[in-house]
Structure 1
Amino acid sequence: MPDKLDGLTGSCVQISCSFDITDQNKYTFNSTILTSGVWIKENPDFGLHPDSVIFNSSKMVNRYQGKITGNMSKKNCTTVFFNVTTSYTNKYFFRIESQPFRGTDPYKSVDIVVRDLPSSPILTVSGEVKEGTPVSLNCSAVAPCPEHPPELTWTLPTQFTPENQLQENPDQTKSVLSTVTFTPSYLHHEKNITCTAVYPVGTSNKTAEHNMMLKVSFSPKDTSASISPADPVLVGSCVNLTCSSTANRPATNFTWFQISGGKPTQVATGLRYTLNVTVGDGGLYYCKARNSHGYGKSKEVQLAIKGRSIGRFYTTQHLQ
């Protein structure tokens, strides 16, 4: 049986249970004879504590309302307790009563913890969340009462189709798993997602949720280049060109290009490019910002030099 089970007030708790008989006692256990299952609370020595027996499948009336759903003749003692309350929180032992075999395992028990409110579902992401690459979000919620499992719903900043299934965990407990697969974009970065578990309890519901902020890795976006000062400058002036972008992970490589003769020529690297203006520095510039996921290119900006165009005009007229 599981070491621990979480229950919800007003719902049921299913204990996955099986047993075996040690070799020296196998000859005394006859699977064809009706076998009763007994659940004992807190202390396996029910001879000294008769009130610790809370359920006996051979009796019509018990302290706990329950049912052994497993086939005892096949050594399956899976049991369901109904309408559990917080007073059920305790340690439980299982006993077999047959003819002529009777036995209790005092070293194996299950701790049942019953709460008024359900525990939050577990929300996980498979792998890195990267733009353009499909990713799966998994939400898991305990299902202590498999007859009435929780319903899992999602709140996501994108279209999705969930896949839900009831599954058995390695510790023999049950849970509901909901998986959503989608392809994130940079627009999903730092958006909240929510998985909500809705447990039916009687005629009402009890809910619990888990919130998570998406962290999407993406190449540089909104890359822009700026010039300071932006107005036309004199030859010999100092000008700063700055490249900026939005990226996750942040851009670490910046490259500057000047358009000369209609073709781009790389002129510098770095977030900022500072130059003392010469006649040949005038013209169009742009930058590229790059991180491990790709790069973004800015629009072109104009570095204008005072008097350059006018001087060329007069020189041309004079030559003509």
Structure 2
Amino acid sequence: MLVRMAPALPLIFLLMIHRVSSADWGVSYSPLHICALKDSSVIMNCTYTYPSGYKIRKVFWTKGTVIKGEESPDLSEDPEYSQRLQYLGDKQQNCTIRLSHVTLKDSHMYYFRFTTNVTGGKWIGRPGVTLTVTDLQVESPERVTEGDSVRLTCKSSCTLTDRATFIWYRNSQPLTERRDRNNELLLQSVRREDAGRYSCAVHGHNHISPAVQLNVTYPPVNPVISISPSGEIVSGDSVTLICSSDSNPPALNFSWFKENESSAVGSGQIFNISKISSDDSGEYKCRSINEHGEIYSDAVTLNVMYPPRSVSVSISPSGEIVSGDSVTLICSSDSNPPALNFSWFKENESSAVGSGQSFSALQSGRFYCQAHNQHGSQRSDAVTVTVHHGAGMNVIVIAATSGGLFIIIIIIIFIIQKKRINRRSINEYENADPSADTYAALDLRPRSSDPYDTLPVSEIPKTTHAEELSIPDMLFTSEYNSSEYKNLSLQ
């Protein structure tokens, strides 16, 4: 029996050794799965054990699939890891490492391996640590309408192992100083100002997600009309009106309206007027339309300048004109700006006979005016002015002499004095006493009312006083019988 039992003892002993050895060898990781943000640093916590009496000769980390019989590569000797991998353990029981600036390519399973001074005394900790490197992405609706509520989400391909606080940016500027664990951004009643490029980040990390455009649509607002050329517009010029508005999507439908007209002076964003005329003057509006609404612009005024036209002359008074009356000719024209310079001409005469909008005509003839402004001039048709001589009992036509005005005064005095003398003579005759000595030698026969009818010319008293001398007397006295007054005639 002893012989039979002998072979069994070594087997039991070996099993006991294996059981003891398995218990003394081992590697422990915490955690087994790590989700890290791109460009961040990752710490892989690790501890290991081995039987007493053994001495550690080498410790290192490796990755990928471990093939039996092949030596696993040491990451500290790999150029892609050598500058980023730092061993934090004590090479006795702690095998913790830090991997910095992780990239998406660093997503692998990592193992710790060590060897001892005993032949065959080496160990690899399987399964290892699974590292997943993730990027951040903003999830957002592509297009929203002004007034809607919008929710943006900062997403990653795995749940980050580290505690994460998210930060939001619009057009690379932080939206708020408040930090929140929530990876969502809520925009209530979105406005057109909320449009832009949104990105997110985790507080404490430099990595920022790629930006996503938030497109906010809204109807046209603030349409404006621009005029080209922007300066003074003169009849005959080419003028362009351009309607611009703020809208999203951009307005593609434009209509043009003039003043109080209800129907549309054209369509399209650009409205051209070639060879503009005064008829095109007035106020213009444009209407801008997109799928969300429409709006009218404020009115702009086109003020078209043009030279005088429709120049005409009116006569005042319009009836018969008698010598001595005041005759006024008035020049009228249509122009922009109004004509301020007027010239008057008499037909068949080259030089102007007057200036100003009104002109006093002192003689018969055909007259016309010429109106001027800075853009040109135009003449009127000629009008005929005819001055008639008067034909009344007490109207005297006087030839143009240097003493004409004086003679008019004499005529007026004569008419008044003649009536006064006639009344005096009649009164004296009726009141005379026939017995008086003064009238004894006088012939009392009926006589003319004119006291000078019976007197010879030589006995007419000479005087220079107009109040005592009648016109007929003056015509025969030596003092007034001059060539200057030979043109006088009594009607």
Question: SS state of the match for residue 217, structure 1?
Answer: strand
Does 2:225 correspond to 1:225? Answer: no
What is the rounded CA distance, in whole Å, between the counterparts of 1:118 and 1:143 in structure 2? 4
The alpha carbon displacement at 1:206 in A equals 2.8
Does 2:293 correspond to 1:188? Answer: no
Map of 2:300 onto structure 1? 212
Map of 1:289 onto structure 2? 371
Mapped contact 1:40–1:92 kept (Cα < 8 A):
no
Mapped contact 1:284–1:303 kept (Cα < 8 A):
yes
Map of 2:25 onto structure 1? none
1:121-152 deviations in whole A, cap 9, x for unaligned? 11121122210111111211123324xx3411
Map of 1:88 onto structure 2? 191
1:175-221 deviations in whole A, cap 9, x for unaligned? xx5342422112222x23221111212xxx43333322321111112
The alpha carbon displacement at 1:101 in A equals 5.2
What is the rounded CA distance, in whole Å, between the counterparts of 1:271 and 1:214 in structure 2? 28
Mapped contact 1:198–1:208 kept (Cα < 8 A):
no
Mapped contact 2:195–2:216 kept (Cα < 8 A):
no
Question: SS state of the match for residue 272, structure 2?
Answer: strand
What is the rounded CA distance, in whole Å, between the counterparts of 2:246 and 2:286 in structure 1? 13
Within a 5 Å distance, the mapping from 1:250-289 to structure 2 comes to 250-260=338-348, 265-275=351-361, 277=362, 281-289=363-371
- Of 224, 231, 234, the residue aligned with 1:130 is 234
Within a 5 Å distance, the mapping from 1:6-25 to structure 2 comes to none
Question: SS state of the match for residue 244, structure 2?
Answer: strand
Question: SS state of the match for residue 387, structure 2?
Answer: coil
What is the rounded CA distance, in whole Å, between the counterparts of 2:183 and 2:270 in structure 1? 39
What is the rounded CA distance, in whole Å, between the counterparts of 1:270 and 1:113 in structure 2? 65
Map of 2:207 onto structure 1? 102
Does 2:328 correspond to 1:240? Answer: yes
- Of 215, 235, 247, the residue aligned with 1:143 is 247
The count of residues paired between Structure 1 and Structure 2 equals: 219
Taking structure 1 as reference, are residues 274 and 215 closer, same or farther at Cα in structure 2, changes over 3 Å only?
A: same
Mapped contact 2:255–2:286 kept (Cα < 8 A):
yes
Percent identical pairs in the alignment equals 22
What is the rounded CA distance, in whole Å, between the counterparts of 1:141 and 1:89 in structure 2? 14
1:255-299 deviations in whole A, cap 9, x for unaligned? 111113xx5552111111124x2xxx2121111111011112222
Structure 2: unaligned runs, 5 residues or longer: 1-100, 104-133, 139-153, 155-167, 210-214, 391-396, 398-491
Larger RCO (CA within 8 A; separation ≥ 6): 1
Mapped contact 2:315–2:327 kept (Cα < 8 A):
yes
Question: SS state of the match for residue 369, structure 2?
Answer: strand
User: Aligned partner of 1:208: which letter?
Assistant: Y
What is the rounded CA distance, in whole Å, between the counterparts of 1:50 and 1:123 in structure 2? 49
Taking structure 1 as reference, are residues 296 and 49 closer, same or farther at Cα in structure 2, changes over 3 Å only?
A: farther
Map of 1:178 onto structure 2? 270
Which of the two has greater strand per residue?
1
Mapped contact 2:136–2:200 kept (Cα < 8 A):
yes
User: Aligned partner of 1:292: which letter?
Assistant: Q
Taking structure 1 as reference, are residues 91 and 98 closer, same or farther at Cα in structure 2, changes over 3 Å only?
A: closer
- Of 248, 251, 255, the residue aligned with 1:153 is 255
Taking structure 1 as reference, are residues 93 and 266 closer, same or farther at Cα in structure 2, changes over 3 Å only?
A: closer
Question: SS state of the match for residue 222, structure 2?
Answer: coil
Which of the two has greater helix per residue?
2
User: Aligned partner of 2:284: which letter?
Assistant: I
- Compare CA radii of gyration and give the structure with the larger one: 2
What is the rounded CA distance, in whole Å, between the counterparts of 2:194 and 2:183 in structure 1? 11
- Of 290, 294, 297, the residue aligned with 1:199 is 290
Mapped contact 2:367–2:385 kept (Cα < 8 A):
yes
The alpha carbon displacement at 1:232 in A equals 2.9
Mapped contact 1:243–1:272 kept (Cα < 8 A):
yes
Structure 1: unaligned runs, 5 residues or longer: 1-27, 55-62, 65-84, 105-111, 165-176, 312-320
What is the rounded CA distance, in whole Å, between the counterparts of 1:268 and 1:195 in structure 2? 49
Question: SS state of the match for residue 266, structure 1?
Answer: coil
What is the rounded CA distance, in whole Å, between the counterparts of 2:245 and 2:237 in structure 1? 26
Q: CA RMSD in A?
A: 4.2
The alpha carbon displacement at 1:155 in A equals 2.6
Does 2:186 correspond to 1:48? Answer: no
What is the rounded CA distance, in whole Å, between the counterparts of 1:124 and 1:153 in structure 2? 15
Mapped contact 2:169–2:198 kept (Cα < 8 A):
yes
Question: SS state of the match for residue 238, structure 1?
Answer: coil
Mapped contact 1:152–1:198 kept (Cα < 8 A):
yes
User: Aligned partner of 1:287: which letter?
Assistant: C
Taking structure 1 as reference, are residues 207 and 52 closer, same or farther at Cα in structure 2, changes over 3 Å only?
A: farther
What is the rounded CA distance, in whole Å, between the counterparts of 1:87 and 1:96 in structure 2? 17
What is the rounded CA distance, in whole Å, between the counterparts of 2:184 and 2:356 in structure 1? 77
What is the rounded CA distance, in whole Å, between the counterparts of 2:316 and 2:353 in structure 1? 17
